[in-house]
Amino acid sequence: MTYEFTIIVPVYNEEENLERVEKELGDYLTICTKKAKILFVNDGSKDRSQEIIEAICNRNEDFQYLKFAHNRGLSAAIKAGFDHVDTPLLGYIDSDLQTSPEDFNLLLEHIGTYDLVTGVRENRKDSFVKNASSLIANGIRRTFTNDGMDDTGCPLKVIKSDYAKRIPMFNGLHRFLPAMILLQEGSIIQVPIRHFPRMAGTAKFGLWNRLIGPLIDCFAYLWMKKKYINYQVDKIG
């Protein structure tokens, strides 16, 4: 079976959400505009997530998984997904399902023209503190990167896999994916999508993760931008 699109689902202690993830992503596969499969990346969960993931994959041929030996963080989980994807397109969505898999179709409409299409969450259903800290962090990041994106933390993206695989990922740089595509002279666009409250489980990010950490990461991005190697082969003999 030839797949065109892999949806990466990072997982860390999400046992309460995973059966809902199975249903919603399974339903989405029947309406996806590309032939798609799901790749769970279990980031060293300490609950029953792995047991549930294996059961899901055993009963669904379009579901696969990777399991980390230890918790390494969201950037590492996304990077592992990028490394193991074997389809021309990839996307990712958080396992809390605060975004809808159906909205991947909105992003896929644009991926022919662009190299990364990211969602921008409308009417966010988060707390005031979370929304305010994200707004500030996005403003700081935009100033550093000049990527023009309003919501790089949105957990719904589609990327051409050859671009994604060339991204030099470090902890925290999952917030800089549009900027990293621009470093490759790729093209990016943001598309409005829906946002929903978290139904189960616990958020993994606090004030440090959303505000202070990203500010520090901006300086890492500036260093990387200065040192980044980009080339195009014109001819091979």
- Split into its structural domains, the chain has a count of 1
Inside any domain, residue 24: yes
Inside any domain, residue 161: yes
Q: Domain containing 108: what range?
A: 5-227
pLDDT interval class at 124 (50, 70, 90): low
**CATH number for position 171:** 3.90.550.10
Q: How far is CA 196 from CA 122, 149, 219, in A?
A: 10, 21, 32
Inside any domain, residue 234: no
Cα 14 to Cα 43: distance, rounded to the nearest angstrom:
10
pLDDT value for 138: 64
Q: What is the mean pLDDT of residues 123-152?
A: 66
Of 67-76, 102-111, 116-125, 213-222, least confident by mean pLDDT is: 213-222
Q: What is the mean pLDDT of residues 159-183?
A: 89
pLDDT value for 153: 77
Inside any domain, residue 236: no
- DSSP annotation string for 126-163: S-HHHHHHHHHHHHHHHHHH----S-TT-SEEEEEHHH
Residue with the bigger pLDDT between 2 and 170: it is 2
pLDDT tens by residue, 49-95: 999 999 999 999 999 999 999 999 999 999 999 999 999 999 999 99
Cα 136 to Cα 48: distance, rounded to the nearest angstrom:
35
Inside any domain, residue 235: no
156 neighbors 119 (Cβ within 8 angstroms):
yes
Residue with the bigger pLDDT between 50 and 205: it is 50
pLDDT value for 198: 63
178 neighbors 153 (Cβ within 8 angstroms):
no
pLDDT interval class at 33 (50, 70, 90): very high
pLDDT value for 45: 97
Inside any domain, residue 170: yes
Pick from 153, 115, 3: which is nearest to 64 by CA? Answer: 3
Inside any domain, residue 200: yes
